[in-house]
């Protein structure tokens, strides 16, 4: 669930600003019709002019650690000097996000930093194994990760209600049920009650307050997903979205998204399927950096004759 843009950008910069200018000018000269194969072009995004200007200037210093970076510092989670913070959009999210980053995941490869830059008040990044204890708040949390027990976004409210009841039972001295962890799996034969439940609770709170994402390559996820602190959490899968990541991992389905894509698509689905509100681009700017890099790298490959 990661994306390697930093290495590509470093390679391009190593060949000098001339190529950067030529490719960027080529990108700017394209008409909308020539980007019909860009699935991100319909997003309602803030202007990319600040990033275009920074790309022409090349790498710049991080205002905190003085490291040389392109666009933003992926260790300090701040824009570089050539990208004024006031020109970067901010997104307000309806839920808090915890991102658990694999210790071997290279900082410069991760798109988790995009979420922290664009929704700083709602996003916290942890480096595994230093993660919170979620047991006491299990009925308010969902883990976004595919699996045999994963549910769809639209079913979150239904299943969290069951989790909430179990949490109450766990705190009841007279309750004779088994411990919560042994009951964490979702019973598969309750679909007949699902439509009725959703209809009757359409305008009520889901009880969900936080979502968790794992930031790593897909081959690295096993160590984190099997951690006992994540067991028993409601697991949610984004089954209908396809990745636009330009370095897709071989052997993995195209529904396996990069971290920032997963965050964005979760909130779009949550807004429509759970909150039951019309989506009008409220979270599109979560892909502010991602969409720019997508177009930039695609165009750079064209300049190099790869497409």
Whether the Cβ atoms of residue 170 and residue 183 lie closer than 8 Å to each other: no
* Rg, C-alpha atoms of the chain: 21
Mean per-residue pLDDT, 84-97: 97
**pLDDT band at residue 241, thresholds of 50, 70 and 90?**
confident
pLDDT of amino acid 167:
55
Which tens digits make up the pLDDT trace of 103-139? Answer: 988 888 889 999 999 999 999 999 999 999 999 999 9
Q: Is the bond into 129 cis (omega within 30 degrees of 0)?
A: yes
Q: Is the pLDDT of residue 89 over 90?
A: yes
**For the chain, where are the alpha helices, taking DSSP H only?**
6-14, 17-29, 49-57, 112-118, 156-170, 194-200, 221-225, 259-269, 288-303
Which tens digits make up the pLDDT trace of 176-217? Answer: 443 433 334 445 455 545 544 444 444 345 689 999 999 988
> Would you say the C-alpha torsion 204, 206, 210, 215 has a positive or negative sign?
negative
pTM, two decimal places: 0.76
Q: How many whole angstroms from its chain centre is CA 117?
A: 12
Whether the Cβ atoms of residue 102 and residue 198 lie closer than 8 Å to each other: no
- DSSP lists the bridge partners of residue 96 as 210
Q: What percent of the chain has pLDDT over 90?
A: 51
Instruction: Give me the half-sphere count of Cα atoms (radius 13 Å) on the Cβ side of residue 221.
Output: 20
**pLDDT band at residue 36, thresholds of 50, 70 and 90?**
very low
Rounded to 10°, the helix 17-29/49-57 angle is: 150
**pLDDT band at residue 248, thresholds of 50, 70 and 90?**
low
Helices (H) and strands (E) counted in the chain, each on its own, are 9, 9
Question: Which comes out higher in pLDDT, residue 158 or 1?
Answer: 158
């Amino acid at each position: 669930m990661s994306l390697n843009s930093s290495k590509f950008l470093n390679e391009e910069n190593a060949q000098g600003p001339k190529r950067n200018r030529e490719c960027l000018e080529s990108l700017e000269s394209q008409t909308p019709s020539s980007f019909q194969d860009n699935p991100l072009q319909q997003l309602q995004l803030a202007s990319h002019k600040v990033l275009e200007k920074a790309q022409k200037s090349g790498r710049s210093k991080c205002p905190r650690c003085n490291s040389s970076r392109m666009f933003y510092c992926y260790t300090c989670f701040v824009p570089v000097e050539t990208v004024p913070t006031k020109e970067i959009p901010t997104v307000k999210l309806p839920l808090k996000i915890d991102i658990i980053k694999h210790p071997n995941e290279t900082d410069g490869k991760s798109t988790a930093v995009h979420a922290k830059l664009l929704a700083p008040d709602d996003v916290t990044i942890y480096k595994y194994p230093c993660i919170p204890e979620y047991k006491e708040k299990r009925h308010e949390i969902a883990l976004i990760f595919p699996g045999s027990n994963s549910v769809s976004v639209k079913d979150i409210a239904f299943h969290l209600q069951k989790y909430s009841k179990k949490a109450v039972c766990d705190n009841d001295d007279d309750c004779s049920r088994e411990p919560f962890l042994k009951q964490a799996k979702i019973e598969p034969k309750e679909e007949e009650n699902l439509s009725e439940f959703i209809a009757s609770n359409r305008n009520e709170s889901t009880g969900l307050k936080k979502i968790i994402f794992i930031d790593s390559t897909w081959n690295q996820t096993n160590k984190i997903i099997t951690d006992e602190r994540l067991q028993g959490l409601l697991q949610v899968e984004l089954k209908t979205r396809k990745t636009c990541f330009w370095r897709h991992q071989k052997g993995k389905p195209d529904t396996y998204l990069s971290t920032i894509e997963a965050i964005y698509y979760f909130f779009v689905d949550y807004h429509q399927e759970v909150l039951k509100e019309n989506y009008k681009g409220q979270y599109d700017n979560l892909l502010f950096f991602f969409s720019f890099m997508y177009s930039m790298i695609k165009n750079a490959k064209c300049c190099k004759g790869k497409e």
